[in-house]
Amino acid sequence: MISCEVCGESLAKPARGRVPRFCGTRCRVASHRQQQRFYVPEELKDHDRWIRHKDKRPFALKGYYLSIHDDSQWARFEDARNCTKGDGIGFVLNGDGIVCIDLDDCVERGRINSKARALIDSLPKTFVEFSPSGKGLHIWGYGNVDGGRKFEKDGLKVEVYGTGRYLTVSGNTYTKAPLAKLELDELVG
C-alpha cells in the first residue's frame, strides 16, 4: 500500500510509470515548503555523529538497528540526511559539551504551551526544533550534564542529556540560531 508522504492518505499504485509521492498539489507544496524550512546548525553538522532512526530506535545507514556506542556506525550529516533507510536522522551525544533539552507534550496543534515558552525565554537564544512527532521540542546548546536527567518542572516534562544518548532531529525549526551556552544548574536542580 502506498500513502501520501505528507498526510498519509492511501494512494493507488499506477499500472506503470512513476509511483506517486503525494495525493495532490496541496501536499506536494507542503512537502516542498517543509524542505525549505529544514535547518540544522553547522555546529551539529560538523560532527560525524549522525545516524538514522526507525520507530525512535537507533538505525544504521546500512539498514539495521545499532548501538549508539558503536562509533563505527556514525556518519557525516550529509550521508545520514541523504539516506532513505529508517524514519529520519538522529544525532549522538558523546559528552563533548553538546547537550539537548527534550520537552515532551508541550505543543498542541502547532502551538507551544506557556510553560515551554517560559523555559525557552529563560535561556539564551539557541537552536530549538519541533520533535518529529510535532508534540515536543528539542533545545540544543552547550553545557555540562553528567549522564542524563528526567524530571518535571512546573508541570513540564523535561529531559536533559549530554552523553550516552541520541536524539531524533527533525530540522523543523522553532528558533533558527547557532548553539548557545546553556547554564543548566538551575534547570536540573
Q: Is the pLDDT of residue 146 over 80?
A: no
Look at residue 5 in the predicted model and tell me its pLDDT: 72
Handedness of CA 41, 144, 180, 34 (dihedral sign): positive
User: Residue 4 has what pLDDT?
Assistant: 74
Query: d(Cα 47, Cα 41) in Å, to the nearest integer?
Result: 11
Average confidence (pLDDT) over 89-115: 95
The pLDDT score that the predictor gives to residue 75 is 98
- The pTM (predicted TM-score) of the whole model is 0.81
**Residue of higher predicted confidence among 4 and 158:** 158
CA torsion 44-48-52-53 (nearest 10°) is -60
CA–CA separation, 120 and 102 (whole Å):
11
Are 101 and 160 contacting, i.e. CB atoms less than 8 angstroms apart?
yes
Residue 28 to residue 22: CA distance in whole angstroms: 6
CB of 95 closer than 8 Å to CB of 164: yes
Q: CA-CA distance, 113 to 128, in Å (whole number)?
A: 15
CB-CB contact of 174 with 126 (8 Å): no
